[in-house]
């Protein structure tokens, strides 16, 4: 892909032209990036993608951080079967109805028709419930704090890499507690972990809040979400956390003997995040030259590009720097025979946060050049304090990406009490819209039917205005909602 052209200016031009401008066609821009940055390849399986090494390395970095956060809060990893018997799935009525349109069914084992068909795991609530009914007997067995890293299958009508695919990778936490209050505390704790991860590691600001009854998870008593805004003004649900109360426990007879010698139902939670996070990073931070990755989750934090590497001492110095810097940072040295200009464009496309250029003149001056991916700023740095300078720059890049994303979200967040203005904003200036709501699902449905926008969440920390009226029916408002078109 990156071979055969010598002229530096032509190299850069050709590589950049391979990406459609995001202002021209955002969907095509996104598709161009996931392909050109070598994150995925398409497969012959409908709606499924091949996650290539660079894309999977991003997921591994995300997984490592989140897994550490989960374990710090006492959670253990387990693994459940990928097949669920139909009778098991049918035990919780609301749950099965919510997932029925997306379920993939296995009807044969070899050439033999199965006595009972099995679904390919769309989510694992029922499997965890069955397991908990076997292992929980006493209050001493609680809480159970389990998490699973796996893939799930949902038969989506329309797919897009990372954002919505037939099979995708995720983690799903499933916990059991003695009381509703303990389950609620867990639900919010995990939501806060997701919010911290998005903001501190992905550099994406989030809105935390509760889903409406219409938008909550099938079978949950309440659902909480973190909502993000993409560059094109569409919302993306970043992660969710659900309090099931004792609904699933009653359906699966998950009981425990409490300290008062009474038999009681457990209260449960579920929470999850997926490879959709990679899509969020692309659409929040990317630009017309490719990916822009936050340093904390970038597979390569620093790429070393030798200049005039055929000259004596250049490669030796580059190898020396790589060995030294690799002890602290994720470093790649590109000693291939591609020209420097081609390498610059390649690593810009891949979103590598920082580039180090070093040539004969730099070595003579005991210096190198560092180039930021986010601002393109170049700075000449002494090799004597190179490690400290790299650390400072990476930290500044991480903060700058967050602040830039926050500024964009603020610019694209609107507030209105007028339904016609609401429609106009959604059509011409998409983003988050803060508008009041009476609590009636009919009004929520009317907004969706007439604008394509859905309620994203009832935000934490933002109360409805005194005397506010519903955006649709003009009756007294019960809640302030964030609305928006979503992926």
What pLDDT sits at residue 9?
42
Provide the token pair at 204: 């994406």
> What's the mean pLDDT in 245-264?
97
Query: DSSP string covering 39-61, please?
Result: SEEE-SSTT-EEE-HHHHHHHHH
Out of 14-23, 101-110, 291-300, 383-392, which region has the weakest mean confidence (pLDDT)? 14-23
Is the distance from CB of 341 to CB of 8 less than 8 angstroms? yes
Is the distance from CB of 301 to CB of 331 less than 8 angstroms? yes
CATH number for region 300-398: 3.40.50.800
Cα dist from 466 to 419, 421, 440, whole Å: 19, 21, 19
357-371 per-position pLDDT tens digit: 999 999 999 999 999
Provide the token pair at 392: 């400072």
For the chain, give every domain's residue range. 26-285, 300-398, 413-484
Rg (CA), the chain: 25
Summary mean pLDDT of the chain: 94
**Cα separation of 48 and 459, whole Å?**
34
> What's the mean pLDDT in 2-11?
37
End-to-end CA distance of the chain: 31
What pLDDT sits at residue 46?
86
What pLDDT sits at residue 89?
86
Q: Nearest Cα to 17, choosing from 5, 307, 153?
A: 5
Judge whether residue 96 has pLDDT over 80: no
120-161 per-position pLDDT tens digit: 999 999 999 999 999 999 999 999 999 999 999 998 888 899
160-218 per-position pLDDT tens digit: 999 999 999 999 999 999 999 999 999 999 999 999 999 999 999 999 999 999 999 98
> What's the mean pLDDT in 283-304?
98
What pLDDT sits at residue 447?
98
404-422 per-position pLDDT tens digit: 999 999 999 999 999 999 9
* pLDDT > 90 in the chain, percent: 91
Q: Nearest Cα to 176, choosing from 143, 222, 141?
A: 143
Which residue bears the tokens 């519903």? 470
Burial of 355 (0-12, 13-18, 19+ CB in 10 A): buried
What pLDDT sits at residue 451?
97
Q: Nearest Cα to 218, choosing from 301, 154, 144?
A: 154
326-354 per-position pLDDT tens digit: 999 999 999 999 999 999 999 999 999 99
Judge whether residue 6 has pLDDT over 70: no
What pLDDT sits at residue 156?
84
Query: DSSP string covering 5-43, please?
Result: ---HHHHHHHHHHTS--TTT-HHHHHHHHHHHTTSEEE-
**Cα separation of 81 and 83, whole Å?**
6
What pLDDT sits at residue 182?
98
What pLDDT sits at residue 178?
98
**In the sheet that 112-120 helps form, which strands lie side by side, from edge to edge?**
83-85, 112-120, 104-109
What pLDDT sits at residue 16?
52
Residue 378: alpha-carbon gap to chain centroid = 31
Q: pLDDT tier at 18 (50, 70, 90 boundaries)?
A: confident
SS3 content of the chain, % helix, strand, coil (to 5): 40, 30, 35
What pLDDT sits at residue 174?
98
413-484 falls under which CATH superfamily? C-terminal domain of ProRS (3.30.110.30)
CATH number for region 26-285: 3.30.930.10
Side-chain-side CA neighbours of residue 210 (13 Å): 15
Interstrand relation of 479-484 and 432-437 (parallel, antiparallel or unpaired): antiparallel
């Amino acid at each position: 892909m990156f071979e055969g052209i010598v002229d530096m200016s032509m190299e850069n031009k050709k590589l950049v032209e391979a990406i459609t401008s995001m202002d021209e066609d955002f969907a095509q821009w996104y598709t161009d990036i996931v392909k050109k940055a070598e994150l995925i390849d398409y497969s012959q399986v409908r709606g499924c993608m091949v996650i290539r090494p660079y894309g999977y390395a991003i997921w591994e970095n995300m997984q490592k951080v989140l897994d550490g956060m989960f374990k710090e809060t006492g959670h253990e990893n387990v693994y459940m079967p990928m097949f669920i018997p139909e009778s098991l799935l049918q035990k919780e009525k609301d749950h099965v109805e919510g997932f029925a349109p997306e379920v993939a069914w296995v009807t044969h084992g070899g050439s033999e028709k199965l006595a009972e068909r099995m679904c390919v795991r769309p989510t694992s609530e029922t499997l965890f419930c069955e397991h908990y009914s076997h292992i929980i007997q006493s209050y001493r067995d609680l809480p159970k704090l389990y998490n699973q890293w796996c893939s799930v299958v949902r038969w989506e009508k329309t797919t897009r890499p990372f954002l919505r695919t037939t099979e995708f990778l995720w983690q799903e936490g499933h916990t059991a507690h003695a009381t509703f209050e303990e389950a609620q505390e867990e639900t919010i704790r995990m939501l806060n972990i997701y919010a911290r991860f998005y903001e501190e590691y992905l550099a994406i600001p989030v809105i935390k809040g509760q889903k409406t009854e219409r938008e909550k998870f099938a079978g949950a008593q309440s659902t909480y979400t973190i909502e993000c805004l993409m560059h094109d003004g569409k919302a993306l649900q970043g992660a969710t956390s659900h309090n099931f109360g004792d609904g699933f426990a009653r359906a699966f007879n998950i009981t425990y003997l409490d300290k008062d010698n009474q038999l009681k139902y457990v209260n449960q939670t579920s929470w999850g995040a997926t490879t959709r996070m990679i899509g969020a990073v692309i659409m929040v931070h990317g630009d017309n030259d490719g990916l822009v990755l936050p340093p904390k989750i970038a597979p390569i934090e620093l790429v070393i590009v030798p200049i005039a590497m055929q000259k004596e001492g250049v490669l030796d110095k580059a190898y020396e720097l790589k060995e030294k810097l690799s002890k602290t940072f994720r470093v790649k040295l590109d000693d291939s025979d591609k020209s420097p200009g081609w390498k610059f464009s390649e690593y810009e496309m891949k979103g590598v946060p920082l580039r180090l250029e070093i040539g004969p003149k730099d070595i003579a001056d005991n210096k190198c050049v560092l180039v930021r991916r986010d601002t393109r700023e170049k700075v000449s740095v002494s090799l004597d304090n190179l490690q400290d300078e790299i650390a400072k720059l990476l930290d500044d890049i991480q903060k700058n990406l967050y602040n830039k994303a926050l500024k964009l979200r603020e610019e694209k967040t609107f507030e209105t009490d007028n339904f016609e203005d609401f429609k106009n904003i959604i059509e011409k200036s998409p983003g988050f819209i803060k508008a009041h709501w009476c609590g009636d699902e009919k009004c929520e449905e009317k907004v969706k039917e007439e604008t394509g926008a859905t309620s994203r969440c009832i935000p934490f920390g933002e109360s409805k205005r005194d005397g506010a009226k519903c955006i649709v029916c003009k009756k007294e408002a019960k809640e302030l909602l964030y609305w928006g078109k979503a992926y």
